[in-house]
Structure 1
Amino acid sequence: MKLDRRSVLAGSMASLAAPFIGATVARADARRQALVDQCLQSAQKVLSGKDFPDALKLMPSAKGLIIIPELVQGGFILGAAGGRGVLVAQSRPNDWSYPAFYFMGSGSIGLQVGGKVSEIVFIIRTEKGLNAILDKKFKFGAEAGVTMVAVGAGFEGATTAAAGGDIVAFANSNGLFAGASLEGSYIDADNDWNALYYGADATGRAIVIDRRFTNPGAEPLRQFLAKW
């Protein structure tokens, strides 16, 4: 069979491009897996460490968790924050879903000097709180009927403080900011990352409620959460 010049050239270009395409996909998978691994480390720190003694008391009845390993905030006068994390849901005790990727961000105007990195684990205590996050972009402090309690590192009595709260945030912050104000922050599904980690049509609800998608890279996180 005789090959024309264009066919040979196209085949050669495809052969040259293949390794680079494969490398791009591998890097993309590595980024998402690295975030899942970071979320596992944050969950271990909060649930196994001594800084949040009451977090474990809320786990057996929790409907879900949002884990944000790094929420970076900084600026002067005009502040902004951002960070990725995951949402997992518990359909029955110790049966946790695979993680769905979410992005958390905020913007604020006020006196802000320096920078802060916050590690936050949200324990979602009610179906109302879980559905509010799944159904749309969730804005802390602005969702009617959904209440949130923020707890800093080392604070005891979170179980009492969280009475009646739909979501409890355990925050560990470093930097020049005092406290961890989450008012005005939002969290929304990152379905581009979900599709890259699981496949097409992977959304927050499809992953954590319908449980249509799996990825073995998330098994260590699920197994750790199942211990509590």
Structure 2
Amino acid sequence: MKLDRRTVLSGTAAAFAVPFLGSQPARADAKRQSLVDSCLATAQKILGGPDFPDAAKLMTNARGVLIIPELVQGGFIIGAAGGRGVLMGRNAPNQWSYPSFYIMGSGSFGLQAGGKVSEIVFIIRTEKGLQAIIDHKFKFGAEAGVTLVAIGAGLEGASTTAGGADIVAFANSQGLFAGISLEGSYVDADNDWNALYYGGGANSKTILTEQRFTNPGAEPLRQYLAKW
């Protein structure tokens, strides 16, 4: 049987096009999965490491956790800062939600001493604190009734220092470090990333509150948090 040359060329083009198109979502997911994996590594370091002995204690009754594996600071003392991370809520004892992607930024992220903040874990202790972050763009120091305590590496007594704080931040940095100031910093849901990781319709509320989306790539992080 004689094949039409246009048919052969069309079929050849399709054979090359299908694998190419099919690889696009995999590359997109890899970028987001890499952040989820980095969040797991940060949680293991801060919640399970020796530098923050009080972090694990506060996790016992935590309502949620926001993990920022890398916050890049623009200036030495004062400068722009930015980073990405995930927010997760506790649905039941030893059961955590799937992660929702968030952006953290600031126009003036100040260090009380020199150093580069590289990792932060926010332990959200109250429902009020969790809902304040989920409901809208959250700005530290500007939310009425929501209190924050920030603690640096090597500083003990966090359980006492935290007092009645809604959110306690444990920050690990490279180089010299003597505490941080989060005043003016903000976190906001990145629903573009949520949709790419979970599918259309995924946003912070449908992931965290309605629990409508899942992704097996987040299971190691969920299982690690299930220790508390």
With normalisation by structure 1, the TM-score equals 0.89
- 1:27-84 CA-partner distances (Å, limit 9, x unpaired): 1111111111111111111121110101111112111000000001023687211111
* Aligned partners of 1:75 and 1:114 also within 8 Å: no
What SS class does the counterpart of residue 107 from structure 2 fall into?
strand
Number of the residue aligned with 2:128: 128
* Aligned partners of 1:75 and 1:112 also within 8 Å: no
Change in Cα spacing, 1:79 to 1:125, as seen in structure 2 (3 Å) is same
Number of the residue aligned with 1:173: 173
* Aligned partners of 2:113 and 2:179 also within 8 Å: no
Percent identity of equivalent pairs? 72
Distance in 1 (CA, whole Å) between partners of 2:75 and 2:156 is 31
* Residues 1:79 and 2:69 aligned together: no
2:68 partner letter: I
What SS class does the counterpart of residue 155 from structure 1 fall into?
coil
Q: How does 1:1-228 map to 2 (within 5 A)?
A: 13-75=13-75, 79-108=79-108, 116-175=116-175, 179-228=179-228
Change in Cα spacing, 1:34 to 1:59, as seen in structure 2 (3 Å) is same
Unmatched segments (≥5 aa) in structure 1: none
Distance in 2 (CA, whole Å) between partners of 1:24 and 1:8 is 25
Distance in 2 (CA, whole Å) between partners of 1:112 and 1:149 is 14
Report how many aligned residue pairs link the two structures.
226
- 1:105-156 CA-partner distances (Å, limit 9, x unpaired): 1112889998724200000011110010001110111111111000101111
* Aligned partners of 2:109 and 2:181 also within 8 Å: no
Deviation of residue 91 (structure 1)? 2.1
Distance in 2 (CA, whole Å) between partners of 1:200 and 1:168 is 33
Distance in 2 (CA, whole Å) between partners of 1:225 and 1:25 is 28
What SS class does the counterpart of residue 60 from structure 2 fall into?
coil
What SS class does the counterpart of residue 119 from structure 2 fall into?
strand
What SS class does the counterpart of residue 108 from structure 1 fall into?
coil
Change in Cα spacing, 1:146 to 1:113, as seen in structure 2 (3 Å) is closer
1:39 partner letter: C
Change in Cα spacing, 1:114 to 1:59, as seen in structure 2 (3 Å) is closer
What SS class does the counterpart of residue 43 from structure 1 fall into?
helix
The worse-fitting range, judged by mean Cα deviation, of 112-121 and 184-193 is 112-121
1:73 partner letter: Q
* Aligned partners of 2:72 and 2:116 also within 8 Å: yes
Indicate the RMSD between aligned Cα atoms, in angstroms. 2.6
Distance in 2 (CA, whole Å) between partners of 1:106 and 1:8 is 56
Distance in 1 (CA, whole Å) between partners of 2:107 and 2:170 is 20
Distance in 2 (CA, whole Å) between partners of 1:10 and 1:115 is 59
1:218 partner letter: A
Distance in 1 (CA, whole Å) between partners of 2:210 and 2:111 is 44
Distance in 2 (CA, whole Å) between partners of 1:112 and 1:127 is 30
Runs in 1 of length 4+ with deviation above 4 angstroms?
2-5, 7-14, 109-115, 175-178
Change in Cα spacing, 1:4 to 1:144, as seen in structure 2 (3 Å) is farther
Distance in 1 (CA, whole Å) between partners of 2:111 and 2:220 is 41
Distance in 1 (CA, whole Å) between partners of 2:156 and 2:78 is 33
